Amino acid sequence: MSDYTTLLARVSAPAGSGREMHDPATGEVVGSAPIKTVEDLDAAIAAAKTAQPAWEALGHPQRIEILNAVADRIESESEPLAELLSREQGKPLNGPNARFEVGACVGWLRAAAATPLEAEVVVDDGETKAELHYRAVGVVGAIGPWNWPLMIGMWQIAPALRMGNAVVVKPSQFTPLSVLAMVSVMNEVLPAGVLTVVSGDRVVGARLASHPDIGKVMFTGSTATGREIIKSSAGNLARLTLELGGNDAGIVLPGTDPAAIAGDLFWGAFINTGQTCAALKRLYVHDSIYEQVIEELKAVTATMPMGNGLDENNVLGPLQNKAQFDIVAGLVEDSKKRGGRVITGGSPATELGDLFYPITLVADLHDGDPLVDEEQFGPALPIIRYTDVEDAIASANGLDVGLGASVWSSDPVEARKVALRLEAGTVWINKHGVVHPMMPFGGVKSSGYGLEFGVEGLKALGVPQVISG
């Protein structure tokens, strides 16, 4: 296993020749990200196009063997990868954070390798037999986010490689070093040219989406950027999987035990300090248990230490960047002016550092308030009182997003009835944001389209082909 400094040295540009990356917890320089150009991207895509046919020709069994070896290699470097991720992204090592994320990369890679994808007989009537197969797309462009740069990167990379595609990755400008490091480790096992990462700006990302040799684009990020990718990909008719912004609603039904759900409510909202697309971002609670749910959430919040991610005691970190910090702080300040009751938090945690914002619960808000209607993507949760379940369902469905939602109840039958009426790609019951490598995941409305994970995720990285005879 490499140590952290050795791993960083492999991917960091020489001092003065790249873009300095700073630890959001301390402001210290972590390393220097290489600055690549459109010409560098074109060269990477050309190399991928050359390498892809031989990779596809290996067939599923041999690719599966290689991908499992790649998973072994990542696992052997898990600690330095987690440290680099913690320093660059800000998330703590412990809790559902940096070590968890690297472990998820290994788990998702192994799951993609293990998922069977058999030919499907679609007609067999004695005269005609037709089978549905899936071939590789070719070269896949993967554009990743800064909140879970390794894990979401692997969600894109693993199924694409399994299906015989070559992959060119464009990481977020905020977290390129950790992605460069993971790909560097993977390329110790993979054939040359099959997986490349190009660290660059938005111009590079736009070129990746529009390049004529890109057959598929996978993107996780904002709805606004997703719309631009759709426009950029129009010329090459690239297939798209877009996992875009969300503003996930949770509904707590009457009769629910507040103490029983408080811990899961907390992590549903505040995993990765709230910087998660499918986090719980607005909570509707029935009037009969409204104050009790607030008090139980407040009690859980008090037990969750926040601070520098390299401190083994912390489970919450800073906001990753100043722009996101300003969004959260602005929405909370606005909520105060609108009569929001701050239960805990409510102002920057300047004693911890410039980008720390404490877990903030704001009660007594309403639909139409910006903290309710706009995606905060941070550690501030609006809590809205309701008296009629029909109103809560209408509120949950009232925004033009639909990545996830949740229903919380002691009555599984009633919870399922409500869940079936919510407009979201995934609806969880008595949990929120829990994903599984065999459970298809994707959004509706402005939260994007296309599915990831499991058999459906593999199919999304292939081109359907019918063999009829």
Which candidate, 130, 128, 217, 102, places its Cα nearest to that of 165?
217
Q: Specify whether the CB–CB gap between 403 and 425 falls below 8 A.
A: yes
Q: How confident is the model at residue 16 (pLDDT cuts 50, 70, 90)?
A: confident
pLDDT of residue 435: 96
On the question of pLDDT at 17 being above 90, the answer is no
Closest alpha carbon to 168 in 146, 200, 133: 200
- Structure tokens given for 444: 């509706």
pLDDT of 1 > 80? The answer is no
Of 77, 88, 277, 452, the active-site residue reads: 277
Distance from C-alpha of 160 to C-alpha of 457, rounded to nearest angstrom: 9
> Cα angle vertex 270, ends 267, 272, to 5°?
105
Can you tell me which residue has the tokens 């919510």?
A: 422
% of the chain beyond a pLDDT of 90: 98
Mean pLDDT of 77-102: 98
Exposure string of 47-71, with b = 16+ CB inside 10 Å and e = fewer, is bbbebbeebbeeeeeebbebbeebb
The label of the residue with tokens 């020489």 reads 14
Q: What is the per-residue DSSP string for 90-153?
A: ---SSSSSHHHHHHHHHHHHHHHHH-----EEEEESSS-EEEEEEEE-SEEEEE--SSSHHHHH
Single-letter code of the amino acid located at 342: V
Do residues 166 and 180 lie in contact, with contact meaning Cβ atoms separated by under 8 Å? Answer: no
Cα 159 to Cα 178: distance, rounded to the nearest angstrom:
20
In angstroms, rounded to a whole number, what is the distance separating the alpha carbons of residues 63 and 69? 10
The pLDDT tens digits of the residues spanning 218-236 come to 999 999 999 999 999 999 9
Which of 311, 266, 261 has the alpha carbon at shortest distance from 286?
261
The CA distance from 33 to 36, in Å, is: 9
Structure tokens, 341: 């009751």
Chain-centre distance for alpha carbon 60: 27
C-beta atoms surrounding 348 within 10 Å:
18
Phi, psi of 160 (to 5 degrees): -65, -45
DSSP 400-445: SEESEEEEE-S-HHHHHHHHTTS-SSEEEES--S---TTS-B--EE
Mean pLDDT over 181-198 rounds to 98
Question: pLDDT tens across 34-71, in order?
Answer: 999 999 999 999 999 999 999 999 999 999 999 999 99
pTM, entire model: 0.96
The three-state secondary structure class of 78 is helix
pLDDT digits (tens, 9 = 90+) for 306-347: 999 999 999 999 999 999 999 999 999 999 999 999 999 999
Cα 57 to Cα 110, 174, 217, distances in angstroms:
21, 36, 22
Assess contact for 85 and 93: CB atoms under 8 A: no
Query: Which pLDDT band holds residue 15 (cuts at 50, 70, 90)?
Result: confident
Is the model's pLDDT at 410 over the cut of 90?
yes
Please say if the pLDDT value at position 176 is more than 80: yes
pLDDT at 436 over 90: yes
pLDDT digits (tens, 9 = 90+) for 239-295: 999 999 999 999 999 999 999 999 999 999 999 999 999 999 999 999 999 999 999
Q: What is the DSSP string of 177-198?
A: HHHHHHHHHHTTTSPTTSEEE-
Q: Which of 77, 88, 243, 423 is catalytic?
A: 243
Per DSSP, the three-state class of 14 is: coil
79 labelled catalytic: no
Active site residue 277: yes
Q: Which residues pair with 444 in a beta bridge?
A: 402
Whether residue 2 is predicted with pLDDT greater than 80 in this model: the reply is no
Residue 182 in this model has a pLDDT that exceeds 80 = yes
